[in-house]
Amino acid sequence: MKIAILGRAPEGRFLENAATLLETASKRGATLCYCTEFLEAFRKYAIPVPPGDSFDARGPLPKDTDILLTLGGDGTFLSSLVCVRDSGIPVAGINFGRLGFLTAAEAGAGNGAIEALFSGRYSVCDRALLSLTEASAPLPQDFYPFAINEVTFSGEPRGLVSIRLKIDDRQLPPFWADGLIVSTPTGSTAYSLSLGGPIVLPDSEVAVITPIASHNLNVRPMVVPLSSRLEVTVSSHRGGVLLTADERTARFSSGFRACLTRGTFPLRTISFSDSNFIDALRTKLHWGEDVRNNHTL
């Protein structure tokens, strides 16, 4: 089994713990391949890791890769999309970050996750993506036009913008806000949630449209079919428009327009038998946690 390893370049005990996990994978017979930035971090701190080739985290993975393993938090997991693209290579995440809502296992259970990979004790789930199409200005060449979590439109510099939104060619009245988020079911628990958007189960066939600090009190988050074609036009009186797809950003002039549709392929993610979305709501977001729950009514 060839496992590509994606991580960032943190310091401290993280690298030592990650090296121990990689050694476990190597002993189980894995052929390892490291993103260049991560491999350089191990070399910088003189932490030995099993031998392996390297790849550029901004480009596609080697074609003979079986699994992409991310070591880090949700940000590292999100960056996996640029690596796997439409290859169909499944992604497993082990959380070395703070929240790790998207990852399949915690760092302390990392060795168990490696064993599960080699024994086949996991399932592969498809996560729907958003695709940016028909932009009024060319996207930067290195801007990958797909998103796992969300696509966000806002002013640059930050400030009030006018937003026009069409849903399947049906025009809504324009409204004023600091920006707009369009999220996938996966992204419903990210930026959209902090702005009052609903929580959506990952396999739901919907997208969530959430205004950022709307100046129109009658504009609220909206749930639409994932099959919808959304056209967003953003105008700013102070400057330009900032477009964000997950963690990738690009800047455009006022009046920028782009269309969003469901991605033509999904992100394949690995889930271990002891992890599921409802458990994550309870343990990561502390859903319904209340001191009164400890007492019988």
Q: What's the pLDDT score for residue 109?
A: 77
Q: Which domains does the chain have, with CATH numbers?
A: 2-128+266-291 (3.40.50.10330), 130-262 (2.60.200.30)
User: Are residues 265 and 127 in contact, defined by beta-carbon separation less than 8 angstroms?
Assistant: no
Q: How far apart are CA 263 and CA 128, in angstroms?
A: 7
Joined together, the tokens standing for residue 47 give 């932490």
Residue 214's closest CA among 188, 240, 175?
175
Q: Cα–Cα distance between 117 and 152 in angstroms, integer?
A: 35
Q: Residue 271 burial by CB count (10 A; 0-12/13-18/19+): exposed, middle or buried?
A: middle
- Each residue's pLDDT expressed in tens, for the chain with a length of 297 residues: 999 999 976 666 789 889 999 999 999 999 999 999 999 999 988 999 999 999 998 888 988 999 999 998 899 999 999 999 999 999 999 988 777 778 878 877 778 889 989 988 899 999 999 999 989 999 999 999 999 999 999 999 888 999 999 999 999 999 999 999 999 999 999 999 999 999 999 999 999 999 999 999 899 999 999 999 999 999 998 899 999 999 999 999 999 999 999 999 999 999 886 557 888 888 778 888 877 777 665
CA distance 85 to 106: 25
Q: What is the pLDDT of residue 77?
A: 94
Is 66 a residue of the active site?
no
Which of 53, 56, 66, 74 is the catalytic position? 74
Token reading at 213: 């600090």
